[in-house]
Structure 1
Amino acid sequence: MKGEPDFDADEAMLIDSEGAVLGRLASTLASESLDGEKIVIVNTENIVVSGEKSEVVDDYRGKVERSVDRGPFHPRRPEGVANRAVRGMLPYKKQRGKDALSRVRFYVGVPAEYDDEDFEKPDKVLDDIGRGGYVTLGEISEKIGANVTW
């Protein structure tokens, strides 16, 4: 039903992804979900991808533009991009991987049903990427043509 949370806050791991590095977060989420953990990730638009901003955006734009007619289709919104990164680290064509992916939920911002909850911060955040640039998934999504509603 609409208005009810996907996962009960007591049974799910709640993560605020502000400043988390995409690849490191995705690998952690993949292994946790394979172990049977239910995971809710909020503020997906603030996950960062390390690298020179223009190169990262061009890479994602190229993926989206190549997939226009027949596929493979690449997401444009931040929660879709993050979900695709986690999916790439799972055996998603097997039942075990499908079940693991169904235990992970991404949200832009914080949904009303999780407003009062305490969120964990990921271990590897922006401070750990060293020199070089970074860009957030929100910025990438804006540049590749997502419908910006956040």
Structure 2
Amino acid sequence: MREFIVDAKGHLKGRLASYTAKLLLKGEHVTIVRCEEANISGNIRRNQLKFAAYLHKTMRTNPLRGHRHYRAPSQMIKKAIRGMLPHKSPRGAAAFGRLKTYDGVPTIYEKKKKLVIPDALRVQRLQARAKYTRLGDLAVAVGWGYAGIIGKLEKERLARGKAYHSKKQLDKKVKDAIWEEKQCTKNAVLTKKGKRRENAIKKLVDKLKKTKKGKKGANNKKDGKDKKEEEKEDKKTDNKEKKTDKKEKKDVKEDKKEKTDKKEKGEKNKNPFSPPDLHRPYHYKVAKKTQQAGTEYKD
């Protein structure tokens, strides 16, 4: 199953306990870190009095078997969650076994994502003017002696996180700067190429303009001669075309005459009154065909 790592900072203890108990009974693994930063509604003096009253709850005959009054914030939250679970049944015991609570943030969970339960936040549940107590302060007032060590470790952790974040930001800036430099160099190269190309085009245009101007002056003198020569050439081409047309017409007429002559000759050679070969025997027809092919027929 999934593991929910909850940061207890700014959460109300009872609300946090109820939501975590529900998750545990559903079969989820829940880990709560920074339990000393959780809150309890009410003034610190009021909470101290309540805790003092809670300390009187013991077993008179054998206090070791009675209530265990935990001073550590992580154990306080754990006991609150246990009270919301059926911890004596197998299901409740299994759910309670899936719970972990820590003061501060262990190194295992430093770089892991922490979650928040919005409905359990003090900002959501308490009014702005309402008084509240930090669980770590109450624990120190009651007798918890590890607040200094946890505070020191938390400062070191925050310093490491800050250094990591600043390094990450610096790396990002360096990458962005390198990318910008590359883009600038590309743009510079492109602009240089573009300028060179523009200059080359301008030079070509200027040359073309000069050559056109020079040709105009020379061509104006030759225009009269060129026109006469062009007219003569046009006349020659027209005469040639006319001659070719006449020749083609003559050839067409001659072809028609030849065709008509051939047709007339073929009609004259034919005997229109020759009887058909239908009454002749078969071998006669074969003989005739063979004679036409240039072979002799023999019965």
TM-score w.r.t. the length of structure 1 is 0.87
On the 8 A contact 1:52/1:132 being kept in 2, the answer is no
User: Is 1:104 paired with 2:99?
Assistant: yes
Partner residue of 1:64? 55
Q: Which runs of 5+ in 2 are unaligned?
A: 151-299
Residues 24-56 of structure 1: per-residue CA shift (max 9 Å, x gap): 100000000000000111100001011122111
How far apart, in 2, do the equivalents of 1:67 and 1:117 lie? 40
**Given that residues 67 and 74 in structure 1 are in contact (C-alpha distance below 8 angstroms), is that contact kept between their aligned partners in structure 2?**
no
1:58 Cα deviation (Å)? 1.4
Partner of 2:25: 34
For residues 13-28 of structure 1, the aligned pairs below 5 Å read 13-28=4-19
- Matched with 1:127 is 123
Cα distance between partner residues in 2 of 1:98 and 1:64: 25
C-alpha separation in 2, matches of 1:47 and 1:115: 18
Could you tell me which amino acid in structure 2 is paired with residue 52 of structure 1?
N
**Which piece of structure 1 moves more, 78-87 or 117-126?**
117-126
SS in 1 for 2:4: strand
1:64/1:144 contact within 8 Å kept: no
Q: 1:85 aligns with which of 75, 80, 84?
A: 80
CA contact (8 A) 1:64 1:76 kept: no
SS of the aligned residue for 1:119 comes to coil
Give the greater-gyration-radius structure (CA): 2
Deviation (angstroms), 1:65 = 4.5
Aligned mates of 1:120, 1:132 — CA distance in 2 = 25
Measured in 2, the distance between the counterparts of 1:40 and 1:19 equals 16
Select the residue among 139, 142, 158 that pairs with 1:141: 139
The 3-state SS of whatever aligns with 2:123 is: helix
Paired residue secondary structure (1:73): coil
Once the 2 structures are TM-superposed, how far is the Cα of residue 78 of structure 1 from its aligned partner?
0.3
Matched, 1:75 2:70: yes
Per-residue CA deviations over 1:64-122 (Å, capped at 9, x if unaligned) read 34448612112111011000110111111111111111111011111001111111112
Higher relative contact order (CA 8 A, sep 6+): 1
SS of 2:17 mapped into structure 1: helix
Aligned to 1:7: none
1:16, distance to aligned residue in structure 2 (A):
0.7
Provide runs of 4+ in structure 1 moved above 3 Å.
Answer: 65-69
Report deviation, 1:139.
0.9
121-130 vs 68-77, greater mean Cα deviation: 68-77
| Inter-partner Cα distance in structure 1 for 2:134 and 2:56 | 20
Unaligned runs of 5+ in 1: 1-9
Question: Is the contact made by 1:26 and 1:86 (CA closer than 8 Å) also made in structure 2?
Answer: yes
